[in-house]
Amino acid sequence: MMALIQRLPLPPQTIAWGLLVANGFLIALMLALAKAATAQGVPAVTYAFWQTLIAGSVLLLGSARFSAIFERRLTTYFVISGLTGIAIPNAIAFYLVNKLGAGFIGIMYALPPIFTFLIATTMGLEQRNWTKLTGLSIAVSACAWIVLQRHSEMNQANGLWFALGFLIPAMLSIGNVYRSVAWPRQTKPLILAAGTLLASAISLGALALLTETPLFSQDFGQPFLGIIILQGLLTALTYYCAFELQKRTSPVFYSQLGAVAAVFGLIIGIAWFNESYSLSIWLGAIMVIAGLRVSNRAASVKNCQPPGDDTGYIRQHPEARSAQDA
């Protein structure tokens, strides 16, 4: 698929933004399917396990180098990337989606740029920039406003659920930075996506065994099989495109993926599940996205260049250039 896209006369910026929008929609759809399944009594850990196992298996079978996934040098990368980028945030999201709504969980996926920027500047991956800081401050304030409004609209909502929700962007941010900095040399994104998903599945399977959570039960209902197969296939596409996007952009640009997912999440939540959100929450969501756009205004064009280009990010971290060689 990516080979076909690369043959089209499209500038790198267009490809990067296209991948960003497509990924955002797929993430929102993933959350909607998870809500439909967990509403039938499927445990969040169980659903996340099958989702990642099916998706990882599909990508592995589609890989030209099946044996590459078993290379020892990739083991640490797969485990850390799988836990921070998939297993932990997805399990939390699937657990909370029926409690706080698909739209609200989608907003949590919009926050990684804030955490990513803090981590990246601390590590020297991004330069401190007042424009970015201003935009992220707007986004943080808007998010706090959304949480307060949503909590007031849900009389029985547990405050701990909202606190738990913030682990989603925190883990995703750690994963964003780690994958960019530790990107293995001479390894294609398809292999990295497959290995990360399968490592996530193994972690979730172990957690299910430790907590005595059933990985399959007749109580899950007949529609479960169809939903999880569809989810696995969509997840395979989502993470394949995500790793292609990560290869072409910086961690901060990549982390804007959640803002797109947040918009689609609100729309799908209303259209599919009849979720209702007040005008104040919609305004807050708009302000989150506006703040993220302000924060990336000065660097968005530069950051969406492929790693082979002579950007400041590559000059500081030449190891990321190896991704383009793969």
Is 319 inside a domain boundary? yes
Positive or negative: CA dihedral 120, 121, 125, 130: positive
Q: What's the pLDDT score for residue 7?
A: 57
Can you tell me the mean pLDDT for 183-210? 89
Higher pLDDT, 317 or 72: 72
Q: Is the pLDDT of residue 50 over 90?
A: yes
Count of all residues that appear for the chain in the document: 326
Contact 83, 203 (CB under 8 A): yes
Is 308 inside a domain boundary? yes
Is 3 inside a domain boundary? no
Count structural domains, the chain.
1
Share of the chain above pLDDT 90, in %: 16
Is 2 inside a domain boundary? no
Q: If you average pLDDT over every residue of the chain, what do you get?
A: 78
Q: What's the pLDDT score for residue 278?
A: 78
Is 23 inside a domain boundary? yes
Can you tell me the mean pLDDT for 291-296? 74
Q: What's the pLDDT score for residue 84?
A: 93
Q: Is the pLDDT of residue 310 over 70?
A: no
- Phi-psi category of 173—alpha, beta or left, where left has phi over 0 and alpha has psi -120 to 50? alpha
Q: What's the pLDDT score for residue 82?
A: 93
Q: Sorting pLDDT into bands at 50, 70 and 90, what band is 155?
A: low
Task: Give per-residue pLDDT as tens, 103-152.
Answer: 778 778 777 777 887 788 888 777 777 787 788 778 778 877 877 776 66
Higher pLDDT, 303 or 228: 228
CA dihedral 94, 97, 103, 109 (to 10 degrees): -40
- Among candidate residues 192, 182, 177, the one with its CA nearest the CA of residue 63: 192
Can you tell me the mean pLDDT for 166-183? 87
Q: Give this prediction's pTM.
A: 0.76
- Enclosing domain of residue 151: 13-325
Is 6 inside a domain boundary? no
Contact 249, 304 (CB under 8 A): yes
Is 5 inside a domain boundary? no
Task: Give per-residue pLDDT as tens, 259-272.
Answer: 788 778 888 888 88
3-state secondary structure the chain: CHHHHHHCCCCHHHHHHHHHHHHHHHHHHHHHHHHHHHCCCCCHHHHHHHHHHHHHHHHHHCCCCHHHHHCHHHHHHHHHHHHHHHHHHHHHHHHHHHHHCHHHHHHHCCCHHHHHHHHHHHHCCCCCCHHHHHHHHHHHHHHHHHHHHHHHHCCCCCHHHHHHHCHHHHHHHHHHHHHHHCCCCCCCHHHHHHHHHHHHHHHHHHHHHHCCCCCCCHHHCCHHHHHHHHHHHHHHHHHHHHHHHHHHCCHHHHCCHHHHHHHHHHHHHHHHHCCCCCHHHHHHHHHHHHHHHHHCCCCHHHHCCCCCCCCHHHHHCHHHHHHHHC
Q: What's the pLDDT score for residue 234?
A: 92
Q: What's the pLDDT score for residue 121?
A: 80
Is 158 inside a domain boundary? yes
Q: What's the pLDDT score for residue 89?
A: 93
Indicate the residue type of 316: Q
Contact 104, 161 (CB under 8 A): no
Task: Give per-residue pLDDT as tens, 32-46.
Answer: 888 888 888 888 899
Q: What's the pLDDT score for residue 304?
A: 41
Q: What's the pLDDT score for residue 8?
A: 58
